[in-house]
Chains A and B, each alone.
Chain A
Amino acid sequence: AAGVIQSPRHLIKEKRETATLKCYPIPRHDTVYWYQQGPGQDPQFLISFYEKMQSDKGSIPDRFSAQQFSDYHSELNMSSLELGDSALYFCASSVQGRGGYEQYFGPGTRLTVT
């Protein structure tokens, strides 16, 4: 069965650079969620989109922005990168949003900021 696809899988950037992470949800899933997971920590919700509209926002820095496109894929744009942004970034997708539906996670993008 098709799963959530994320690219790239690994990314190394320097401080103050920008990064773009991409997420392709499971076919027919219309809701995308972004989570950030630091070493030894639980996933922290960043932002979500339902039917291409932002549906909720969590602890996402102002330096980050995201959007969902007409084909339901999503991109997380990160600017002025800081050392503390180094983490695993997961995208998850679900059908029909609004909570209460199974979220399936992608393999993650490991971002290292040096």
Chain B
Amino acid sequence: GENVEQHPSTLSVQEGDSAVIKCTYSDSASNYFPWYKQELGKRPQLIIDIRSNVGEKKDQRIAVTLNKTAKHFSLHITETQPEDSAVYFCAASLPDKLIFGTGTRLQVFP
């Protein structure tokens, strides 16, 4: 079945620096890759996504890249702010479900 690996598990950055989280997936049938931000005890919130026919997508300070050949996709956050601190999950889609990575706890220090 589909397996999604996510690195790093924790990431600490200074406010204003960039943060990069990387994921790899195993099932070449996956064609949709969302990223979720989850604060403690709250719901996962969709922050950006990318489909397999696109190599890069950007939304303000957030960007996602996809290398379908290598089965890698990454989340880039620029100019980080303390409110970016949360757990970030990547996911890969298969029909009728998402398979999540194990999460990255991002801490942004003022």
Contact = CB atoms under 8 A, between A and B. Distances in A.
B61 interface: no
Nearest to A43: B100
Interface string A30-51: 0101000000011111001010
Given A42-B101, A101-B32, A55 B89 contact: no
Contacts of A108: 42-43
- Secondary structure at the B interface, as helix, strand, loop or mixed, is strand
Given A42-B101, A100-B51, A105 B95 contact: no
Contacts of A84: none
Nearest to A55: B96
B95 A98 contact: yes
B54 interface: no
B97 A45 contact: yes
A99 B96 contact: yes
Interface residues of A, number: 27
Contacts of B11: none
Interface string A72-111: 0000000000000000101000000111111111111010
A99 B95 contact: yes
B98 interface: yes
Contacts of A101: 32
Interface in B66-110: 89, 93-103
A42 B46 contact: no
Nearest to B99: A45
Interface of A: 31, 33, 41-45, 48, 50, 55-56, 58, 88, 90, 97-108, 110
Interface of B: 31-32, 34, 36, 41-46, 49, 51, 89, 93-103
Closest 10 CB pairs of A and B: A56-B96, A55-B96, A42-B100, A100-B32, A105-B43, A99-B95, A99-B93, A45-B97, A48-B96, A105-B44
